[in-house]
Amino acid sequence: MSKVAKDIVPFIAGALVVGISTLLARDVSTKLSALLYGFPFTMIPISYFLWRTTKIKYGKRKVLDYIGQSLPSMVGLVIFILTFWLSLKKFNYWVSLAIAIGSWLVMAGIYWMLICPSPFNKFCINFG
């Protein structure tokens, strides 16, 4: 399999999850769509393709690093979802989206400054 094909397969898998979640929310049930989207579909193909494309050179280390570094990112997703959900009760869609993105950016900035490797902090937290 060529390098381009190896890169396209994960892209198509991600597009399918987004497409199916959107169709479910629009035509079937928002609850079912949220459950589907909440399943770690992205973790499974990303870890598999990462392992498959790096197993000769790095073994399981890359996959372990990816999963360990993903844990704090999930906190950011929860912050984004909660902020978006709560702000939608007071503001319109676009303002709520901007507030949620802003809260995610603040969390991502804190994460980037505290988690290893960080150019800002030599006493950082290492999840990998």
Domain edges within the chain: 60-128
Task: Report the pLDDT value the prediction gives residue 97, as an integer from 0 to 100.
Answer: 94
Whole-model pTM above 0.85?
A: no
Half-sphere exposure of 41 (CA within 13 A, CB side): 19
CB contact set of 74 (below 8 Å; sequence gap of 6+): none
One DSSP character per residue, 19-63 reads HHHHHHHHHT-HHHHHHHHHS-TTHHHHHHHHHHHHTTTTTTHHH
From the list 10, 11, 13, 32, the residue with the least C-alpha distance to 21 is 32
What's the pLDDT score for residue 116? 59
Q: CB of 84 within 8 A of CB of 99?
A: yes
Give the Cα separation of 46 and 41 in Å (integer). Answer: 9
Tokens, residue 48: 């598999």
pLDDT along the chain (128 residues), means of 10: 73 82 84 73 74 70 75 82 95 96 88 64 57
pLDDT at 89: 95
